[in-house]
Amino acid sequence: MPIQTAAEQLINDIILDRAHQYAHDVKRFEARKARQDKAGEAHEKKQIELMTSLGLKTADLEAGLKKDAKALQASLAEYRPALVSRAGSPAAGGKNGSLIAAQLPPGRLFVPPYGVFAPPFPPPPPEITSGWIFTDSGNLKIEAHDSGSGTGWWATAGPPPVPHDVVFTFVPAETTTYEMTAIFAFHGFYVLVADDGFFTHKYAEVSMDVAMNANQYVDLGWKTFPRPIDASGDNINEFESYDRTLFFDYSAPLRAGDPVVVTARITLEAVASGSGSHAEINFQDGTANYIMPLFLSVGPA
């Protein structure tokens, strides 16, 4: 079988397997969320009963929550547009990638991204055998957000996080241990708003997870990294831009002559609890916000 055909078949098999796994993961996520919501509603009911027994008016609390929701919309309208419309160009990211490549040790193989795969949402049932959506090998325009509801006496999970797999493929020239470094340019922003009160428990959280895996015949195992973005709080009001070029490394013994598929997985998540709270991590809106997979640098360790 020609190398290119073998690589494409390997990628197809990998993505198909991940499509099944993701569908099952979402079912577990939704079942857990249903249990959390049920427990949270029971807790809120007890809190309201306690307030009533103390002579406190729940109508006052509800009025405060509506006021918080209006204040949130005012804050978003004031600060968010500048993050969306800020100056920037994907061309600058590409130029930065060329400068990075010129500074790395000679003799390394520079592998461009083959493509980006992500599951459709909502996901198909597990019995459907179609693979993930192939987007392209360009920039990722992705985001996650969640606006809280209710009083915020319990934290609820937001929408299921959607992984985006950036795939690289190459054929080792010799049998040895290889060092593979995926380089990404991140340009985006995040928003956290949670104004906690005495009778509420508001909360907002955003995170970005990055993991890598290599496959030659079989998956060699996921390597996770410290979260590049991991912010949360219950009394917080943050509107922050995020511009970084980050390096993620993976080492593995590989055999010469057979294709290798390397995956860098990026997952964004946002969780908000309580009316007037908001969590958002955004690499999508506006021309200046995106994630650019630059290349995979490969060489003997």
Give per-residue pLDDT as tens, 62-79: 666 677 778 778 888 999
User: For position 275, what pLDDT does the model report?
Assistant: 72
User: For position 28, what pLDDT does the model report?
Assistant: 82
Cα-based angle 230, 297, 95 (whole degrees, multiple of 5): 80
User: For position 184, what pLDDT does the model report?
Assistant: 96
**With pLDDT > 70 as the criterion, what percentage of the chain qualifies?**
79
Least Cα distance to 38 among 157, 186, 172 occurs for: 157
Give per-residue pLDDT as tens, 256-284: 999 999 999 999 999 887 777 889 999 99
pTM of structure: 0.84
Mean pLDDT in residue range 230-255: 93
User: For position 236, what pLDDT does the model report?
Assistant: 82
User: For position 196, what pLDDT does the model report?
Assistant: 62
User: For position 186, what pLDDT does the model report?
Assistant: 96
Give the residues across from 248 on adjacent strands.
182
Q: Is the dihedral of CA 170, 173, 175, 178 positive or negative?
A: negative
Lowest mean pLDDT among 4-18, 38-52, 73-87, 281-295: 38-52
Mean pLDDT in residue range 164-184: 96
Q: Tell me the average pLDDT of the chain.
A: 83
Lowest mean pLDDT among 11-25, 217-231, 249-263: 11-25
User: For position 265, what pLDDT does the model report?
Assistant: 97
CB 248 within 8 A of CB 210: yes
- Rounded CA-CA distance 102/82 in Å is 34
User: For position 151, what pLDDT does the model report?
Assistant: 53
The answer to whether the bond into 122 is cis (omega within 30° of 0) is yes
Give per-residue pLDDT as tens, 138-152: 789 999 998 876 555
**Domains: count for the chain:** 1
**Residue 20 or 117, more confident:** 117
| Domain span at 134 | 3-300
- Rounded CA-CA distance 264/212 in Å is 5
User: For position 195, what pLDDT does the model report?
Assistant: 75
CB 93 within 8 A of CB 185: yes
User: For position 129, what pLDDT does the model report?
Assistant: 45
